[in-house]
Every structure is written in structure tokens, then in C-alpha cells.
Amino acid sequence: MVPHHHDKRLDVLRTRLGVWGADVFISFDPADNAWLTGFFGSTSIVAVTAEEAWLFCDFRYLEQARASVTAAQVVEFSGAAEPFLARHLNAFCLKQAVCDPSVMTLACYNRLKEHYEGELTAQPDVCRALRTVKEEGEIARIEKASLLAEDALQAVLGEIRPGMEETELAGRLDYAFRQRGAQRNSFDTIVLFGEGSSLPHGKPGNRGLQPGDIILIDCGCVLDGYCSDLTRTFVYKQSPGAWFQEIYDCVYQAQAAALAAVRDGISARTVDETARTAIKNSGFGDYFGHGTGHGVGLEIHESPRLNPESEAILAAGMVVTVEPGIYLPGRGGVRIEDLLVVTPSGSRVLTVLPKELRIL
């Protein structure tokens, strides 16, 4: 396991408390809590004061938390989480609390306010903003997850046969992840054949593979808590036609241009514009309707977003995807996606799987 710097992360929050004039920061978000304390569980609360840090969990996770958390005191709660937390804060006379409304339900917020005797203030995206720039240990985990996913994909490509259904290939890939030590998928694996590849986030179905089919695979796995993300587009036995080669070449070139644009200090919108302009200039602008990329870390979709509306500025240490695509309804689509880490002078691409069109 790559060590986390949880004490340092908690200290950053303590500095923020002074800026906010608050007594305590509270988090109900599993990903934020994992980043702050090293605890990976579906249900937890973290509370941080100038002097203390608590990780609250129920009986299901108590042993796990006590074994993995060193930067915070582990406290077991039972019953509803919000009243329990409120009673704890009240008992310690913590009268000014800050929470992140972007990772809380309205019901959770209202229940907490109902039982808390102090003032509850909202500060959006507190930990998510801090998580945007990755530490070296985090980058190493993401890279390991990426290499694992690539190895699994390479293995299952060798198992493809005529008539194999999309769901079977997706299932084989999911199993290959776990055979290699992944905890789970980063997201539901996308495997689409033929004309179905025009659906950017289509679901695998029972379509059988035939010669001349496009094969679009978008997959990722979680290793040591961190996600990977990878998309490649292949063809089976033979190309579906010159039209497909044209859109493949266009996406390939657009992705290369966007990758070359990534560097410390550039706006995420500019990277998106680079890919989008290349595709538009080739006449396919109407068929690229999603963003060019997104951050990846403890969650599969993190800040920054690389899209036309993004206000983000890329910084060294951010890990992002670059994944332009072209999708022609009723015919098929192409997407090529790499993971990369932003560096002071450019980027380092973590994905090593070749991108040249491959006939399986």
C-alpha cells in the first residue's frame, strides 16, 4: 500500500477552519472520507476540529476502521447518523460547523440542522477541490490501476470469437480485472458492437459479433481505492468501410492534438477546444457531443472537467482523461481515451496500449 499523508490533509482543513471562523468541518462523503483518513467504506462521517479528528462508522466497519485509520479517532455510531453526529458536536460545544452541500442530500442536511444546536454553514467542494491535484502516491496507484486494466483488456481480446455477445465480452473483462487483483470496476464496462458503437455510453446487450463490426470498449478498474479509465475502438476481421477509417483517423488526430495541448497553466476549455476544432474542421462537429475529458482519482469523474463550459485551469499533478469521439447514428462510432498526468512542461501519458487501428 502506498502511504497516505492524512495528517497533512487534515491540517489543511484545520487551516480552513480558521479562515471560515468555524469550530468543525464535517463530511458524509465516502470518497472525501477515504482521502482524509484512509477509510474505505460505504458509510462514514468525518469531523475535524483544530485539535481533534473523528471517523464515525457503524458496527459493520468498526474493525476495518480501527485497523486502517491512524489520523483520526474511530467512534462507533448506531441508529441514524445525523442525530448521533449532532449529539457529539453538541457535547463538545462545537457551535460553528461547516459542511459540503455538494456531497450531502437535502434530507441529510435538514436532519442534521434539526438536531444540531449550533450554526451550520455550507462550503461547496471543499475536499474535492483539494483532491484535484494528486500526490505522487496517488498517481502511482492510478497508474497501477491503468496498467492492470490494459493487461486485462489485452487478455480478453484474444478470447474474441464470432457470435460472442457484448455482455459476454464485458463479463470476461470484468472477471479479468478481478483475476489480476482489482477491487471492482471503476464503472459499468461498456462493450458495443457494430452500429451500437454510436451510443457514447450504451449498455452491452445480446448483439452477436460479426466480421466487419466495430468493437468499442470503455472500461476501468479500481486498485487500492483509485480508478482507471480506458477506451479503445477496434474492428473485427475487416473494416466496415472507408467511412469508418475516415472517422477513426479524425478522432486519432484530434486526440493527439488535445494531448499535445495539455500542460500546467492551460485552461481545460482550451484543451477541449483543441479536440473539438479538429473534429469540426473535418466535418464531424455535430457528432461529438460530450466533453473531451475529466479528472480521475478516488472517483471515476472528478474535477477538472475538460468541456466547453469549464472554468478550470490545469495544474501539475492533475490526472485527467482525453477522450474525443465521433458517433454516427445507425452506423457506428469511435472513441479513443488515454489517462495522463499534467506536468510542468506538458503531460505524461499513463496509458500504454497502442491507439493505431487494430483489426482483431
Same domain, 271 and 341: yes
d(C-alpha 37, C-alpha 18), whole Å: 21
- Classify residue 110: in a domain, yes or no: yes
Same domain, 254 and 119: no
* C-alpha cell, 160: 474474441
- Classify residue 149: in a domain, yes or no: yes
Same domain, 29 and 158: no
In the prediction, which pLDDT does 5 show? 84
Same domain, 140 and 34: no
- Quote the number of domains for the chain: 2
In the prediction, which pLDDT does 2 show? 42
Same domain, 223 and 106: no
- Classify residue 152: in a domain, yes or no: yes
Same domain, 17 and 125: yes
In the prediction, which pLDDT does 1 show? 39
Same domain, 60 and 176: no
Q: Which of 130, 151, 182 is the last residue of a domain?
A: 130
d(C-alpha 61, C-alpha 225), whole Å: 16
Q: CATH number, domain at 243?
A: 3.90.230.10
d(C-alpha 25, C-alpha 6), whole Å: 15
Q: Which of 98, 114, 130 is the last residue of a domain?
A: 130
Q: Which residues of the chain have pLDDT under 70?
A: 1-4
Please tell me the pTM assigned to this model.
0.95
Residue in the block written with cell 464535517: 26
Same domain, 91 and 17: yes
Same domain, 47 and 147: no
Estimate to the nearest angstrom the gap between the alpha carbon of 54 and the chain centroid.
26
- Classify residue 57: in a domain, yes or no: yes
Same domain, 175 and 63: no
Same domain, 78 and 156: no
> Domain range spanning residue 342?
136-349
d(C-alpha 97, C-alpha 109), whole Å: 12
Q: CATH number, domain at 39?
A: 3.40.350.10
Q: Which of 130, 151, 173 is the last residue of a domain?
A: 130
Among 232, 249, 254, 248, smallest CA distance to 306 is for: 254
Residue in the block written with cell 446487450: 205
Q: Residues 80-110, buried b or exposed e (16+ Cβ, 10 A)?
A: ebbebbbebbeeeebeebbbbeebbeeebbe
- Classify residue 356: in a domain, yes or no: no
Same domain, 269 and 294: yes
- Classify residue 261: in a domain, yes or no: yes
* 338 within 8 A of 149, measured Cβ to Cβ: no
Query: Can you name the residues that pair with 97 across neighbouring β-strands?
Result: 24, 120
- Classify residue 1: in a domain, yes or no: no
* 62 within 8 A of 80, measured Cβ to Cβ: no
Among 75, 80, 78, 82, smallest CA distance to 97 is for: 82
Among 283, 286, 292, smallest CA distance to 259 is for: 292
In the prediction, which pLDDT does 3 show? 43
- Classify residue 277: in a domain, yes or no: yes
